[in-house]
Structure 1
Amino acid sequence: MSRRPQPDDPFRLRSLRRWYEVAWIVLGIAPPVVSVLGDPGATTFWSIGLAAALALCRAAVSERPARPPLPPHVFLGALVLGMGALALVRGDGAALYIVSLPHFWLLTGSPGRAIAAGTAAAAATVAGILRHQAWEAQQFAAGNVVFTLIGWAAGVLVGLGVVRIVEQGDERARRLGTELEAARLRLAEAHRLRGATEERERLAREIHDTLAQGFASIIVLAEAAASGLAADPGRTARQLLSIEQTARENLAEARVLVGAAPQSGLAPGSIAATLRRTLDRFTEDTGLPVTAELAEVACDPPTRIALLRCTQESLANIRRHAGASQVAVVLAPAPGGVELEITDDGKGFVVADSDGFGLNGMRRRLAELGGELRVTSSVGDGTRVLAALPTDGRA
C-alpha cells in the first residue's frame, strides 16, 4: 500500500508554505483586485469582496496548536466556491486556478482527495467562465477555459510525480533507518562479545598468576613434606606452615576474583618490600639462593601488581622448568619508568618455540600499562626476563 502524504511530509516544510502563501496572494488574489480598482459597479464590489474572503479564509488555516485552526476542508470548499464565483463575476479565472493548485495537494492529505478537489475547482472555474460569457452575450473565448484545463492536467501529473518522489524518499529513509538499526545492534553485540572475551582473558590471567601458581606451590610443598616427614621433621613442619600460608593467600585471591573482598592484590608496603617477601618465600620453599637488588621505586597500584605478577610467574617457571642453582632479581628505576630483571643459570629454552600462557599473560598485562616484556634465553645458558613499565603517567 502506498503511503499518503501527511502534514509532516518533507515537501510541506513550513518556510516553503509561507513563501507559497505570499506567491498565492501576489499572483492569484491581488490581480483580480488591482484590475478593477477605479471601476464602479457590482463587478468591483464582488471581485474585491470575494478576493478578501478567500485571503481571510486562508489566513485562518493554522497548524499551530495554540491557535484554533479553520479546518482545511472548509477553506478548500470556500476556495472552490470562490474561484467559481470570481469566474462568474469576471469571466476569467485560469490564473487564480493554476496558482491555487498546490493548496489541494498541501491540505487534503491524499492524492485522491487532491485530484477530486482540483477537478471540482476546475469545473467551477470553467462553469463560471461559460456562464459569464452567456450572461454578457459575449463571443465564446476559449483561452481561459483551455488554460484552466491545461492547469488541471498539469496539476494532476505534477502532484502525482511529487507524491511518488516523496514515497520513494520515505522508503529509502525507512530502509536506511532499518539498516542503521541493524548495524547498531551488530556493533553493540560485537562490543559485548569483545568485552566478554577481554574479561575471560583477564580472569584466566589472574587465575593463572594467583590461584594456579599457589596450587602448584602447595602440590610441590606437599610432596616434599611427605618425602621428608620421617627424615627431617623440622623442615616438614616449615613446609606444612608454608602450605597453610599459601592456601590462605589463595583463598584471599579467590575472594578478590569473585568480588567478595577489596581488590588490592598487594599487602601494605612498598614494591621492594613486597618483592622481598616473595623472594624469601621462594627461597624457603625451594632452597634456591636469590640475590636481590631492590630499589625503592614509587609506582601506582596497577604497576605494583604487574611487577609482582611478573616476579611470581618467573619464579614459578624457574621452579618448574629451569633446574637453576641460583637466581638474581634486580628492581631499578629507569628513564620515565621502572625495570625488573630476573635471571637464572638454569637450562634455558628457545624463546621462539615458547608459546606458554604465562609468558603471553605477562606480555598482555604489561602492554595494558604501556610497558613491555623482553625474554632472552638459549638452551644451556639460563634465562633473562626484563619487564619495563612507565611510571610518568603515559600508561
Structure 2
Amino acid sequence: MSRPILNRTVEIVLPRRLGVPFRWLVGSSWVSNLGDGIALAAGPLLVASLTDQAFLVALASLLQWAPPLLFGLWAGALTDRVDRRLIVITVDSLRGLIIAALAIAIAVDRISIGLVLVALFLLGTTEVFADNSSATILPMLVHRDDLAIANARLQTGFVTVNQLAGPPVGAALFATGMAWPFAAQTLLVLAALLLISRVVMPPHPRDRGAEQKSVHRDIAEGFRWVRHHAAVRTLVLTIFTFNITFGAAWSVLVLYATQRLGLGAIGFGLVTTVSAVGGLIGTLAYGWITRRISLGNLMRIGLIVETLTHLALALTTSPWVAMPIFFVFGAHAFIWGTTSVTVRQRAVPAALQGRVGSVNLVGVFGGLVIGSGIGGLLAQHSGLTAPFWFAFAGSAVFVVLIWRQLRHIAHADDQPTPLPEP
C-alpha cells in the first residue's frame, strides 16, 4: 500500500481532529482487545478441559463477573480522584503478571481447576479498575460532539480483534498447546501498556474539595446523580435486568456449543467470530441506523432481538441454525453497547464519569453474577437448554415492564446534567 493511500486510510479510520493522544489510546485498546479475544476462547476451553461439571463451568464465569460487583464502586471513586492513565498502567501490569503465571503453571503441568478459578477472579479484579478508568479517558481526549465516532472506532477494534480475530486464534493456539494462548496474551498486554504510556492527558477533572470528602460520600453522589437522570437510570436498570437473563444463558455457552451443537474447540471459537461479524456489520450501519430510528425505538428493537435470541437457541440443536442467530445477536450487542456508552459520556459531567460509570458497571456485572449462578444451577439440574428458557421468559416479562420507560432514551442527548444537591 502506497503512503498516500495509507495516510488517507488512517485519516478515515482515525481522523486527525480527534488528536494524537486518541490514536495512542485506540492503539492500546485494540492491542489489549486482541489479547482478551484470544483468552475469550482459550479461557473457557481451559476450564472445560479441567472439569465437565456445569456448575464449575458457570462458577468460572461468575468469578470473572463478581469483582465489578464487589469493587466497582470503589474503582469509580478512585478514578475520579487519581490519575486515570496511571490506574490503567498499574493494574494492567498486574494483569500481565497474573496471565504469565497462569501460562507458566500450564507449561509445567501444575494447573488445576482451583488455580484457574483463583486466577480468573484476580484478572476480573484488575479489569474492574482498568476498564472503569479507560472509559473515562476518552471524554477527556475528544470533544463531546465527536464521542459517537470515537466510541465507534474503539468498538470497531473491539469487534474486529476481540470478537472476530481473537477467539479463533485463541482456539487454534489452545489446540496447539494449552499454554500458548496465555503466553501470547501476556505479550499483548505488555504492548498495550507501552502504547497507553504514550497518551498525553489533560488535567484531571477533580471535584473541588474532593480531598475533604469521604469515599462513601463520593459513591453516594454517583448513585444520586444516576437516580436523578432518567435516561441513564433507565439504561442501568435495563442492563442489570437483561444481564441476569443473558448471564444465565451465556455462562454455559461453551457446554451448549460443544455438547448440544456438537462443535469442537475451533467451532466454539467460531461462535464468537460469527457474533463479531454481526457486530462489524452493526458498526458499518450504525450511523445510517441512528439517523432513521430514534434511540428509544432502537433500544426497544434490541431488547426484542435479545429475547427472541434466547428462545431460538433453546429450540435448536443445529449449528447451521444457531450461527445466524449469533450473527444477529452480535449486531444487536454492538448497537446497544455503542448507544449506551455514548449516552452516558455525553450526559455525565467529567468529574463524575468514574462514579457514574461504576454504578453502570455494578448493574452490568451484578446482573451477570446473579444470572450465571442461576444458569449453572439450572443447567446442572435441568439440562443445558434450561438457562435459555429462563432467559427467554425473563426477558419477555421485562420488555413489557420497561417498554414505556425507554422513551427517556430519546431525550438522552442533552448537555451534561449537574449533580443534584443532597
TM-score when normalising by structure 2: 0.20
TM-score when normalising by structure 1: 0.21
The structure in which a higher percent of residues are strand is 1
> Rg bigger for which structure?
1
The structure in which a higher percent of residues are helix is 2
